[in-house]
Structure 1
Amino acid sequence: MTTTPELGVHRAVIGPLNGGNTHARVDLGFGVRVNTRLNLAVPGQPGIRHVRAWINEHGPDVAIRVTKPGPVRTSADLVDVDPPDLYRAAVVRVVDGDTLDTSLALGFGVRIDARLRLLGLNVAEKTTPDGVNVAAWVSSWVTAQDDQIVVETVKDRREKYGRMLAVVHGSRPGVPSLNELLIGAGMAVPYDGGTRDRS
């Protein structure tokens, strides 16, 4: 069972510090970057000297965890992690058993529309009885999440139809992903993107 990675972690390039405040260019993914003001901190180590020491050690290209979004300035902790490509999303439509239309929240008030293809599995075609059943099951699962999901994308990877490849997590952490549930229930078979066996 996979665990849900942490939301709100981004790469950022930090400008000169003024106290704990700085201008930063934050990478939200999908080629979207925002310029913003950040109030930075090092977790468990209050004070500007710890922020300066962190940036001196790690350089200006850092990972940040948003702790308090704000319209003028956002508070963020400096963290030593590789940011996951993880986003909150609203499901707009279940297209079929392995495809969802979503509105992804990239952070900092930015949203994009994205068609997702569930990574690592294949389901019956939507025109077959099994395909209809899988799509209905996925719709019920989405409804149980109040149409709110967490999407873990494979950065900049799309499949041949332009869909973004993703692992879809529910609204509660520590629960198997939709991808795992479909395979575990026998409604999908593992698929690595190669030629499908049609026998």
Structure 2
Amino acid sequence: MKYEYKAKITNVVDGDTIDALVDLGFKVQIMQRLRLTRVDTPERTQPGYAAARDFLRGLVEGKEVTITTHKVSKWGYFLADVVVDGRDVSDLLIVSNLGKPYDGGTK
């Protein structure tokens, strides 16, 4: 089941993982680590890591976004579509050649 929330991004962990203060409504907020859906970016030891992380920081850190949550990932984070200023963040990473399309299978 998918749910949509407003959130403020408090930290960019890497090119496809963020920390968000999620507004659950009724003045209830929760900090949550989220994994972006549909995209895979380089890991810390791989070329392109800093470029993807910094690009994502510039897009979302400190900003209000809309998230649509999906299931929990194999790493224990919620998978989420993230939209900022009407633009899908996963798509932006892919078209900028900073991430690859990813369906959740093995890499």
- Normalized against structure 1, the TM-score is what? 0.51
Q: Does structure 2 retain, via aligned residues, the 8 Å contact 1:182–1:188? A: yes
Tell me the matched-pair count. 107
Report matched runs for 1:47-196 at 5 Å: 85-143=3-61, 146-154=62-70, 157-170=71-84, 172=85, 175-196=86-107
- Which residue type is aligned with residue 52 of structure 2? V
- Which residue type is aligned with residue 167 of structure 1? D
Structure 1 unaligned residues grouped into runs of 5+: 1-28, 30-83
Separation of aligned partners in 1, 2:60 and 2:76: 22
- Percent identical: 35
Specify which structure has the bigger relative contact order, considering alpha-carbon pairs within 8 angstroms and separated by 6 or more residues: 2
CA RMSD of aligned residues (A): 1.6
Separation of aligned partners in 1, 2:96 and 2:76: 27
- Normalized against structure 2, the TM-score is what? 0.91
Which stretches of structure 1, 4 residues or more, deviate above 2 A after TM superposition?
Answer: 126-129
Report matched runs for 1:34-53 at 5 Å: none
Cα deviation, residue 121, structure 1:
1.1
- Which residue type is aligned with residue 189 of structure 1? K
- Which residue type is aligned with residue 162 of structure 1? G
- Which residue type is aligned with residue 192 of structure 1? D
Separation of aligned partners in 1, 2:21 and 2:64: 10
- Per-residue CA distance 1:100-142 (angstroms, 9 max, x = gap): 0111001111111110000011111123340111001111111
